[in-house]
Structure 1
Amino acid sequence: MSASRKTAATTAAAPSGDGPVVVDNIQLAKQAPLGVKIVRHFKRYGALWLMSLPAMCFIALFAYVPMYGLRLAFYNYNPREGLMGGTFAGFKYFNQFFKSGMFTNILGNTLRISLWTLVMGFICPIILALLINQIGSTKIKSFVQTVTYLPHFISTVVIVTMINIFLSPNTGMIGRLFPGKNLLADADLFTPLYWITEVWQHVGWNCIIYLAALSSVDLALYEAAKIDGAGRLQLIRYVDIPTILPTVGILLIMNMGNVLNVGFEKVFLMQNSMNLSASEVISTYTYRIGILGNQFSYATAIGLFNTLVNFFFLVLANIISKKASDTSIF
């Protein structure tokens, strides 16, 4: 036994008298009382806990404390009695939403816009990252990255203003191609206009994480593949794509948790009386019902339904990914 091993072990008498028994300090630590374990843990990781404390307090205050307001979904809210008051209503507001004439239209709009944005906003950054990674010149690669991710920092209000200017009939850069037709007033065009502009704005920023994963590829793999006669497409297929697959799996699981989460600000700003039939989604309907209509319990029930559906898709995607590729977030 080495000297380090001897210092990490304790000799105790065997009950049968057959000789000494070596007991590791690790085993002794596991047998220690809970209070002792906690003290030891904080002595060792106290600095890390202290550094994480502000973030945990922020999350607790703004993410978990407001969850108490979900109580409104099951109670008839009375402003005079506050959150603690009101009579129990059960699933009254959920049934009201499911039986309303707006349910099918709103859910359909939300799914259509969200799925198009999710699919195209997930595929395009991967393609862009693979293409940028094939650029040999460092200066050109940096220039392309900068140009593609700069739109991410433009505010939503400015983006929608640009959309209105470009699509303006007869005067807009794109609107001139369709004289006499207001593209934003066409309900059938609202979904493609939304996800195309959404992908354009965020594709460069979202591809950064894939470029970071590609930067970890051993250059010897590229050299070996080139010696074997591999072209650019073969390099992408057999070297780049297998490298980013774990990252793709994790991001896909996380994105599935936002299936019904369509950005409120952009949809609301792009809405008008002509395209409302295709642009009314759960988030904007909740705003109209809850804030403008003062139906707080009804709006809370709709929001809770939205959250539960997202949670279901998140868990389902995690289970499928874990069984298919052994990649999961929990």
Structure 2
Amino acid sequence: MQPFDESAIGTAVRQKKRKRSNTAMFAHFHNLMRHRALIAMFLPGFLLFMLFQYVPIYGVLIAFKDYKFLLGVWDSPWAGLEHFARLTSGSDFTAALRNTVVIALLKMLTFPTPIILAIMLNEVRQRYFRKLIQTVSYLPHFFSWVILAGILLSFLGSEGGMNQLLQLFGLPPVNWMIKSDYFYPIIVLSGIWQGVGWGSIIYFAALSSIDPTLYEAAISDGAGRLRQMWHITLPGLMPTIITMFLLHIGHFLTVGFDQIYNLTTPTNSRVADILDTYVLRRLLTMDYELGAAAGIFSSLVGLALVIISNRLVKLYDKEQGLW
């Protein structure tokens, strides 16, 4: 009887593991090569995302330092939470935060508008008419707010189309862009005009995934259009609505810098000053630390709102939510 050779068994086990590892690596490489076209399309977007979303995170350190341009970010002395205390004690920040929250709440009320448009157009049976409405509603999304603000300023100006329409009914002209009382309605309505068509695209896609046999069964049971929308269309859209709402609320304090900056005038600046314009002013005065602190504050509020909202959605339905 030959003696038990532990070294030979150990060698055989290692060779088997190495062979299995080589096989797995070869399979992984073969899988990558098989999808090389998809990977090639994915890489540019991934690199741009990393470049503009993750690389700038290094600049967050400025909020915790007494930033010196000649020393750089890393070598500048630490300041702890001093800039955050200075931020929250400033009256300008308090006013900007109040205006931002008001505009954000008003814009949250407009969240259902793309859903309503998608459902209404889904009920239109004339295909060409539906395509026409979709094209017209998509169009403003492709114009910058510089162009859209110019259109609004012309239309709502003292000699604009809105005042000419009022004069046809014997009403006096109104200084729409000068009076601060009209600023919030203009921001909300222009935001709907610019984004409702584009925002409805994802809901159109979700509507196309609803099983048509559900509508056929509902019709055979005598359900009208309203009951079909309430019992089939809305439940079918609910997962998409929840996901979009959670993504939207993560940008709660990001109320649209381009829109507000281009629609701000010297007379409505009191109600138009938001966190983004506040940060811009800090940066223009080279107060980089306060601008970075304000940016971190806005991001933390968005993160907290997403976590809370996701938790509430989980209480409603455990299968929904972002995670």
Q: TM class, shorter-chain normalised? A: 0.7 to 0.9
Deviation, 1:197, is 0.5
C-alpha separation between the residues in 1 aligned to 2:84 and 2:214? 56
Q: Which of 74, 87, 92 pairs up with 1:84?
A: 74
Q: Which amino acid aligns with 1:175?
A: N
Q: Which amino acid aligns with 1:100?
A: G
Structure 1 residue 153 corresponds to structure 2 residue 146: no
Deviation, 1:172, is 1.1
So what's the TM-score if we normalise by structure 1?
0.84
Question: What is the CA deviation profile of residues 135-192 of structure 1, one whole-angstrom value per residue up to 9, with x for unaligned ones?
Answer: 11211111121121111112211110111111112x1111343635311122222111
Structure 1 residue 327 corresponds to structure 2 residue 320: yes
2:258 aligned residue: 265
Q: Which amino acid aligns with 2:118?
A: A
C-alpha separation between the residues in 2 aligned to 1:93 and 1:216? 50
Q: Which has the higher contact order (CA 8 A, sep 6+)?
A: 2
So what's the TM-score if we normalise by structure 2?
0.86
Deviation, 1:218, is 2.4
Q: Which amino acid aligns with 1:61?
A: L
**Superposed counterparts of 1:28-47, under 5 Å:** 40-46=27-33, 47=36
Q: Which amino acid aligns with 1:315?
A: I
Q: Which of 247, 251, 258 pairs up with 1:254?
A: 247
Q: Which amino acid aligns with 1:241?
A: L
Q: Which amino acid aligns with 1:154?
A: F
Q: Which amino acid aligns with 1:41?
A: H
TM-aligned CA distance change 1:125 to 1:92, over 3 Å: same
Instruction: Say whether the 8 Å CA contact 2:93–2:278 is kept in structure 1.
Output: no
- SS of the equivalent of 1:83 reads helix
Question: What is the CA deviation profile of residues 16-61 of structure 1, one whole-angstrom value per residue up to 9, with x for unaligned ones?
Answer: xxxxxxxxxxxx99xx76x875664344245355553332222222
Q: Which amino acid aligns with 1:296?
A: Y
Instruction: Say whether the 8 Å CA contact 1:221–1:239 is kept in structure 2.
Output: yes
Structure 1 residue 172 corresponds to structure 2 residue 172: no
C-alpha separation between the residues in 2 aligned to 1:236 and 1:305? 41
- SS of the equivalent of 1:88 reads coil
Report the identity percentage.
33
How many pairs were matched up?
297
C-alpha separation between the residues in 1 aligned to 2:153 and 2:300? 35
Structure 1 residue 274 corresponds to structure 2 residue 262: no
Normalized per residue, the structure richer in strand is 1
Structure 1 residue 188 corresponds to structure 2 residue 176: no
TM-aligned CA distance change 1:307 to 1:38, over 3 Å: farther
Q: Which amino acid aligns with 1:76?
A: D
Q: Which amino acid aligns with 1:181?
A: V
C-alpha separation between the residues in 2 aligned to 1:61 and 1:216? 35
2:99 aligned residue: 109
- SS of the equivalent of 1:184 reads coil
Structure 1 residue 98 corresponds to structure 2 residue 88: yes
C-alpha separation between the residues in 2 aligned to 1:310 and 1:39? 43
Q: Which amino acid aligns with 2:187?
A: Y
TM-aligned CA distance change 1:39 to 1:70, over 3 Å: farther
- SS of the equivalent of 1:304 reads helix
Deviation, 1:250, is 0.6
Could you tell which deviates more after superposition, 63-72 or 143-152?
143-152
Q: Which amino acid aligns with 2:141?
A: H
Measured on the aligned residues, the alpha-carbon RMSD in Å equals 2.0
Instruction: Say whether the 8 Å CA contact 1:210–1:244 is kept in structure 2.
Output: yes
1:137 aligned residue: 126
1:8 aligned residue: none
Question: What is the CA deviation profile of residues 86-114 of structure 1, one whole-angstrom value per residue up to 9, with x for unaligned ones?
Answer: 21111111111101112321111001112
C-alpha separation between the residues in 2 aligned to 1:296 and 1:281? 17
Structure 1 residue 74 corresponds to structure 2 residue 56: no
Q: Which amino acid aligns with 2:172?
A: P
C-alpha separation between the residues in 2 aligned to 1:252 and 1:157? 27
Q: Which amino acid aligns with 1:75?
A: K
C-alpha separation between the residues in 2 aligned to 1:95 and 1:38? 53
1:294 aligned residue: 286
Q: Point out where structure 2 has 5 or more consecutive residues left out of the alignment.
A: 1-15
C-alpha separation between the residues in 1 aligned to 2:46 and 2:26? 20
Q: Point out where structure 1 has 5 or more consecutive residues left out of the alignment.
A: 1-27
Deviation, 1:84, is 2.3
C-alpha separation between the residues in 2 aligned to 1:103 and 1:36? 60
Instruction: Say whether the 8 Å CA contact 1:160–1:266 is kept in structure 2.
Output: yes
Deviation, 1:254, is 0.4
Could you tell which deviates more after superposition, 48-57 or 152-161?
48-57
Deviation, 1:223, is 2.1
C-alpha separation between the residues in 1 aligned to 2:69 and 2:220? 74
